[in-house]
A and B are shown apart, each in its own frame.
Chain A
């Protein structure tokens, strides 16, 4: 594993985390370590429990069992505000932006400068600076978010998570709605964030993206850990861990393609 050279103590340590929704066991006995300056990809099929895990770390859901250690201390994340305060920032799949507010308001939502007399000028400057650092292409920060495209909204959501100088940033499917260039931008962005010493949790269905940036790839299957891989493991290995069988829809399709081209 590619952990040598990194500080031994992870920023975030999950042990035996479980989550039940009624009769459904969404997560069972999850173990996960995140170190500073590391991109960990969380992959798995639909219903593997990735989004549930993200929501637990973001303080949206509470785990039914298990411990979460942050910076070496056990913590309970009982509200999104608490997770943010501690330094766990999340970019949700649905982005969680307020469409009726403009970009600046969304970026600073809940953390406005000078609460009794909002400093709009200073907030706008910081918004532009941040968006420039991310090489973002947002035409105007004074338009309501409703008028932005999907990629632009994604950028705003990522920029917002970085505003509070978090220790860990979680990205739930950040490239799903993006074009080629914008995907590359987001991947660059992820690397830039990692180089700043942050831990990054990346959730994606796109194996190409995952392998491009991830230091470790953690596979979930049906709510359980199903192996940890590195970026140089083969696609077949990953897919079989994700689907739980070496013989699966993907391998069958590949075999068929191979036959067709061979014939």
Chain B
């Protein structure tokens, strides 16, 4: 079926209507120029980081090192995914590090010290996260306490609770042979399964895209880009993923733990972009009063965001504990907090609310983890690592800020 003379959305001659791949690329360049950078900075950054570290120490790009990197990325990545939720509302949670530490302490105490089933321990840890999130949201809703302050006090309180729970011994070792620890340290996907997963996203994009095109045509709407752009997207994605998976399978393979993290990112992405809840999240972050006036229950949205954030932080703590096979006083301290927040911002979620995506947690954490991993390979101390990560965060925020100003002057949100 050919395009009717005037598709419902093509009647205004003032708008450039993109057709085909060439126009799609031109549209992309226009968006970047006006400050709608999307994922561009992070991809450029990744290539830069990989090149620098690889030239300094070729081990950096070895498949086994990359697999290690993915193991390490999963825990903080989960925390960062929660941070995306609160940043979306223009709020912040500074206590995610302590929350993850507390969750790992709870896991150790309930599972190892008290000898209860591990599933119960995980549940208690997650519930404590949900509870803390509820407390933060309530402080904000009822008393107008800025999340910046409430979470800062939560940071200290939970750190105290973590130290109290672990007591004088200071750390609890988790059983080395347990499935929990093996999940965090050893388990990787079978090769055939990872290849299957690599093909899946492209296939899903293609399938959903074709379905969307068919439905749009049925109601007389145009299809920007059309089939060629869709095929190009799906094709490039599949090739890149297959390449990555093949390379990783030369070494240990792809950790299940990382798979879990990606699954959470995909679910969060669906929730943020394709559900009413997600739309409300963007609306509250963009213009809270407008959201309230359109009948959105702003308080409830805040509660959901803070609870998700703290629960994901708790999950991150559990994953970190299984990765280290211990619940220690050091868990969740140091740079965990800042790494999680930096990852979300570096990945393109705005600190100013209303802009962002679940993918930013994934891309951001890979950047952060690459830097940390690369510096460790160079035998640099954590002092230097902290300074460099701090500088990267500063750069990311500057880019976010500049892009925002540029968008404003180009009439984009």
| Chain A residues close to B by CB (< 8 Å) | 58, 60, 79-81, 84-85, 90, 92, 96-101, 105, 109-112, 115-118, 121-122, 124-125, 128-129, 137-142, 144-147, 160
Is B279's CB under 8 angstroms from A128's CB? no
Is B215's CB under 8 angstroms from A118's CB? no
A residues in contact with B355, CB < 8 Å? 100
Q: Which of B190-235 contact A (CB under 8 A)?
A: 212, 215-216, 219-221
Stretch at the interface among B40-48, B287-295, B377-385: B287-295
Is A146's CB under 8 angstroms from B293's CB? no
25 residue pairs bridging A and B, Cβ less than 8 Å apart: A60-B293, A79-B295, A80-B293, A80-B295, A81-B295, A81-B297, A84-B294, A92-B293, A100-B413, A101-B279, A105-B282, A105-B283, A109-B294, A110-B283, A110-B295, A110-B296, A112-B276, A118-B274, A118-B275, A124-B9, A125-B221, A129-B8, A140-B12, A146-B411, A146-B412
Is B413's CB under 8 angstroms from A99's CB? yes
Q: For the complex, give the distance between the alpha carbons of A118 and B280 in Å.
A: 12
Check A115/B275 contact, CB under 8 A, given A90-B293, A128-B8, A144-B413. Answer: yes
B residues in contact with A137, CB < 8 Å? 12
CB < 8 Å: which of B283, B292, B411 contacts A147? B411
Check A98/B291 contact, CB under 8 A, given A109-B283, A144-B412. Answer: yes
Q: For the complex, give the distance between the alpha carbons of A198 and B296 in Å.
A: 24
Looking at B216, B290, B291, the one whose CB has the most chain A CB atoms below 10 A away is: B290
Check A121/B215 contact, CB under 8 A, given A99-B286, A99-B287, A137-B12. Answer: yes
Q: For the complex, give the distance between the alpha carbons of A138 and B297 in Å.
A: 29
Q: For the complex, give the distance between the alpha carbons of A115 and B292 in Å.
A: 18
Q: For the complex, give the distance between the alpha carbons of A124 and B10 in Å.
A: 13
Looking at A60, A90, A121, A137, the one whose CB has the most chain B CB atoms below 10 A away is: A121
Is B293's CB under 8 angstroms from A58's CB? yes
B residues in contact with A115, CB < 8 Å? 275-277
Query: Which A residue sits closest to B287, measured CB to CB?
Result: A98
Q: For the complex, give the distance between the alpha carbons of A139 and B12 in Å.
A: 5
B268-286 vs A, Cβ < 8 Å mask (1 yes, 0 no):
0000001111011011011
- Closest Cβ–Cβ distance, residue B302 to chain A (whole Å): 16
A residues in contact with B412, CB < 8 Å? 144, 146-147
Is A98's CB under 8 angstroms from B354's CB? yes
* B177 lies within 8 A of chain A by Cβ: no
* B114 lies within 8 A of chain A by Cβ: no
B residues in contact with A84, CB < 8 Å? 294-295
Q: For the complex, give the distance between the alpha carbons of A116 and B273 in Å.
A: 10
CB < 8 Å: which of A85, A101, A121 contacts B413? A101
Query: Which A residue sits closest to B220, measured CB to CB?
Result: A125
Query: Which B residue sits closest to A102, measured CB to CB?
Result: B413
B residues in contact with A99, CB < 8 Å? 286-287, 413
Q: For the complex, give the distance between the alpha carbons of A94 and B412 in Å.
A: 18
A residues in contact with B294, CB < 8 Å? 80, 84, 96, 109-111, 160
* B15 lies within 8 A of chain A by Cβ: yes
Is B280's CB under 8 angstroms from A110's CB? yes
B residues in contact with A145, CB < 8 Å? 413
Is B221's CB under 8 angstroms from A121's CB? yes
B residues in contact with A141, CB < 8 Å? 9
Q: For the complex, give the distance between the alpha carbons of A112 and B280 in Å.
A: 10
Q: For the complex, give the distance between the alpha carbons of A67 and B293 in Å.
A: 22
Is A96's CB under 8 angstroms from B290's CB? yes
- Closest Cβ–Cβ distance, residue B269 to chain A (whole Å): 13
B1-18 vs A, Cβ < 8 Å mask (1 yes, 0 no):
000000011001011000
Looking at A98, A99, A146, the one whose CB has the most chain B CB atoms below 10 A away is: A98
- Closest Cβ–Cβ distance, residue B252 to chain A (whole Å): 37
B150-171 vs A, Cβ < 8 Å mask (1 yes, 0 no):
0000000000000000000000
Query: Which A residue sits closest to B276, measured CB to CB?
Result: A115
Q: For the complex, give the distance between the alpha carbons of A98 and B413 in Å.
A: 9
Q: For the complex, give the distance between the alpha carbons of A92 and B289 in Å.
A: 11
Is A125's CB under 8 angstroms from B8's CB? yes
Q: For the complex, give the distance between the alpha carbons of A147 and B413 in Å.
A: 7
Query: Which B residue sits closest to A129, measured CB to CB?
Result: B8
Query: Which A residue sits closest to B9, measured CB to CB?
Result: A128
Q: Which of B291-329 contact A (CB under 8 A)?
A: 291-297
8 A-B pairs closest in CB distance: A115-B276, A81-B295, A100-B286, A144-B413, A100-B413, A110-B294, A96-B290, A146-B413
B residues in contact with A129, CB < 8 Å? 8
Q: For the complex, give the distance between the alpha carbons of A101 and B282 in Å.
A: 8
- Closest Cβ–Cβ distance, residue B112 to chain A (whole Å): 40
Looking at A105, A129, A140, the one whose CB has the most chain B CB atoms below 10 A away is: A140
Is B295's CB under 8 angstroms from A101's CB? no
- Closest Cβ–Cβ distance, residue B48 to chain A (whole Å): 29
Query: Which A residue sits closest to B7, measured CB to CB?
Result: A128
Q: For the complex, give the distance between the alpha carbons of A146 and B215 in Å.
A: 28
- Closest Cβ–Cβ distance, residue A246 to chain B (whole Å): 39
Is B283's CB under 8 angstroms from A101's CB? yes
B residues in contact with A144, CB < 8 Å? 412-413
CB < 8 Å: which of A109, A125, A138, A140 contacts B279? A109
Is A139's CB under 8 angstroms from B15's CB? yes
Q: For the complex, give the distance between the alpha carbons of A85 and B354 in Å.
A: 26
- Closest Cβ–Cβ distance, residue A214 to chain B (whole Å): 25
Query: Which B residue sits closest to A146, measured CB to CB?
Result: B413
Looking at B8, B275, B294, B411, the one whose CB has the most chain A CB atoms below 10 A away is: B294
- Closest Cβ–Cβ distance, residue B256 to chain A (whole Å): 28
Is A116's CB under 8 angstroms from B276's CB? yes
Q: For the complex, give the distance between the alpha carbons of A112 and B281 in Å.
A: 13
Is B15's CB under 8 angstroms from A140's CB? yes
